[in-house]
Amino acid sequence: MKTRITELLGIEYPIFQAAMSWASSNSALVSAVSNAGGMGILAGGPMRAADFARALSEIREKTAKPYGVNIPLNNPRARELLDIAHEARIPVMVASQGGPREHLARFRAIGTKWLHVVASVEHARKAQAAGVDALVVDGMEAGGHPPPSEVTTLVLVRRVIKAVELPVVASGGIADGAGVAAMLALGADAVQLGTRFIATPEASVHENYKRAVLAAEVDGTAFVGRGAHPIRQLANGFSRKYQSAERAGEPAEALEKLFASSSVKQAALEGDVEWGKVEAGQSAGLVDDMVPAGELLRRLVAETEAARKRLASL
Ligand SMILES: Cc1cc2nc3c(=O)[nH]c(=O)nc-3n(C[C@H](O)[C@H](O)[C@H](O)COP(=O)(O)O)c2cc1C
């Protein structure tokens, strides 16, 4: 499975474990995926500087293979985290939410490959013009921050592939080997899976969070915060309260306040899956077992091969 992404990053399989705030803010998940030949990604966004630095040195102890780091560039602590990542000479950056231009030169100077997460054709073109090495394209099925436009992965990935020359990593709703094969068939150079990796022992979220993902159906998510900063999460008390405030025509300020009254941390660390933001994608409905992350990666590879064979035999 050689693609432009496996060549660029020096990984065996074109499969990424997505950055997920809290769930992949630890070294165990990242190193397990990288050791299995995929691309493990540390979610730096919610981490304190000292914890982030420690996780990076643990990853280096646990794997000699390439790994990635995600820093949302609009995070108030982004600069501090970027400095730590730079000092650790990280092999791969998967940056999101913000312009990459001002950061590229110093990371390029130490050999870091810079991938940028985008959710529209316009942002894909801008990131290419800024000089990034590759793009991660998130469609609306994705957990976390899907495109405000609500364009699906199936459509957006193909459109972005037409619009840019850069390698593209498809993200959102993938979950299994059939999903991986489908995205490679569309022309993606790799895939990124988030929600599927929540149901692993290594994901650092509360057991209630994992159980909620395992129990969810494909229609069990909600799109919260339309028009502002939408997130996709499992439907629960919080999402229903927010959506009924939206339907009631509450002013933007009140909606903003309500949005800020709940957090991912509440669900991820405290296990409050009723009132916290249980970020997860539609593919939660395709996840029905807990699997160690390395084994999951190997299973995804085998399933992808099976899907390719099935297609070839038609
Ligand atoms: C629990 C959760 C937390 C996330 N946190 C982040 C994050 O911190 N930074 C980021 O760029 N994307 C984040 N995302 C988005 C993922 O990186 C990825 O794009 C998405 O999970 C892919 O869709 P899938 O969940 O359908 O596989 C998060 C997604 C989830 C499910």
Give tens-digit pLDDT for 98-147.
899 999 999 999 999 999 999 999 999 999 999 999 999 999 999 999 99
What pLDDT was estimated at residue 128? 98
Residue nearest to atom 11 of ligand 1 (CA): 96
Integer angstrom CA distances of residue 293 from 56, 68, 93, 116, 298: 18, 16, 21, 24, 9
Give this prediction's pTM.
0.97
What pLDDT was estimated at residue 43? 98
Residue nearest to atom 6 of ligand 1 (CA): 20
- Point out the residues of the chain with pLDDT beneath 70: none
What pLDDT was estimated at residue 226? 85
Residues contacting ligand 1 via CB (< 6 Å) = 18-21, 23, 43, 45, 70, 72, 96, 117, 138, 141-145, 171-174, 192-195, 279-281, 283
Closest atom of ligand 1 relative to the 173 alpha carbon:
26
Q: Alpha-carbon torsion 161, 33, 19, 80, what sign? A: negative
- Measured between alpha carbons, how far is 255 from 283 in angstroms, rounded to an integer? 27
What pLDDT was estimated at residue 1? 87
Using CB atoms within 10 Å of the CB of residue 185, give its burial: 0 to 12 exposed, 13 to 18 middle, 19+ buried: exposed
